[in-house]
Structures are given as structure tokens and as C-alpha cells.
Structure 1
Amino acid sequence: MQNTRLNRLVTVINALLRRWLLNPWRRISLLIISLLFGFALALAISAIAGQNANIDVTVALMVSILVEGVNWLAYSSPNRLRQSFWVENLNALKMGLCYGLFLLAFMLGS
């Protein structure tokens, strides 16, 4: 690939982000933010699907496919990919989503 300005900019930003994420507290804080965003996403999904009762099955199918895809990516891939920051964040988002949906199901008694 040619060494264009955009290519160099992306490389520099990637290196700065990687160096910034070496601090464990920053990494943990971003994982907690992903977990809480997944919980908020669960609340939004259930509210949107609950408004229009005829799309509940479709939304449940899409969430199940998303959760299984993230599980496959996070747990059946090689160790290097499993420890990737983006995969860890996606897995935290998935955990927050599942926890939020379970909590809402228990609150509604269904």
C-alpha cells in the first residue's frame, strides 16, 4: 500500500491509541463503559420492541444471532484475537446486553 498522508495518519492514531490503552485503568474503565452501554442498549431494545408487539420475535432472533456471533468470536478464536481490545469491548457489551434483558424479564415476570 502507498504511504499516503491518510495512511500515515491512521497509523499514528492507531499507535497513540494502543499506547494510551496500555494503562490498565483506562482499559478497565472502557470495558466498564461498554458493559453499561450494553445494559442501556438492552433497555432501549426492549422498549422499542415492546411498543410494536409484532416484531418481538424478529428482535429476539437478531439479538440471539448477535450474542452467538460475539460468543463465537470471543471464545472460539485464537488466543491473540481473544485478548484483542475490540473483542474484549464487544464481549463486555454483549454481557451488559444479556444482563439487561434478563433483568427486564425478571422485573416484568415473564
Structure 2
Amino acid sequence: MNYTSLETIINYLHSYKYKISNKNLNKLSLHILNLLLGFFISTALSTIPGQTGDWGIIGAAMIVAFYEIISQRIYLLETPTRYNSVILQINNIKVGIIYGLFVDAFKLGS
């Protein structure tokens, strides 16, 4: 079976993530990295669409929709599944985004 380049990239990323997750990384360091990734994403979300000024409302709607979808997935979990760690990592990214937006708001307010 011939693989396309997209399938090859996805398989490589999946195997790379599997190798990283099997190492003895401290869970705290992984959570901190996801938090910092969320902070970086919030900086990008607040600066790139703000250049023209007309994308502010659409950007805010996308952030709120992302936030609410992740919150719904997190708080509906009653039994542990194999996706628990992935959802918690996405939750840390979500918290980083909210934290970054608060920091940007304080920078604009001062």
C-alpha cells in the first residue's frame, strides 16, 4: 500500500508523540509546556487579527467556542478513558490561552 506524504507525516508525528509520551517525563513539566503553548497561542490570537481591527469579534467568538467545547468535554468525563490525558493537555492549553488574554488585557489597560 502506498502512503501519501500526508499519511507519512501523520504516522511520523504519531510515532514521535508515542516515543515522547513513553519517556519518563514528569507530568508537571508536560502540563507546564502545554500552559506555555496556550500562552503563545493567545499572544498570536490577540495580535494577528488585531492588525486590521475587523477580526476582533470573530476571533473572540472562536476563542469562546473553543473554550466552551473543551469545558464540555472535560466536565462530562465520569469514567477514565484513554483520552483523559489528551483532554487534560488540551485543558491546560485552554487555561494558558485564558491566562495570556488576561495578561494582554492588563497590558492594554495600563
Q: After TM superposition, which residue ranges in structure 1, 4 or more long, deviate above 4 angstroms?
A: 16-19
TM value normalised by structure 2: 0.75
The amino acid of 1:20's aligned partner reads N
- Count of residues paired in the alignment: 98
Counterparts of residues 62-101 of structure 1 (less than 5 Å): 62-81=62-81, 84-101=84-101
Partner of 1:57: 57
| Aligned alpha-carbon RMSD (Å) | 2.8
User: 5+ unaligned residues in a row in structure 2: which ranges?
Assistant: 1-10
Percent identity for Structure 1 against Structure 2: 32
Contact 1:81/1:87, CA 8 A, preserved across alignment: no
Q: So what's the TM-score if we normalise by structure 1?
A: 0.75
Larger proportion of helix: 1
After superposing the two structures, state which structure 1 stretch, 93-102 or 27-36, moved more.
Answer: 27-36
Change (3 A) 1:19 1:31: closer
Deviation at 1:83, TM superposition (A): 7.5
2:59, 2:94 → 1: CA distance? Answer: 15
Runs (5+) with no aligned partner, structure 1 = 1-8
Return the letter of the residue paired with 1:57.
Answer: I
| Matches of 2:36 and 2:67, distance apart in 1 | 16
Does 2:106 match 1:106? yes
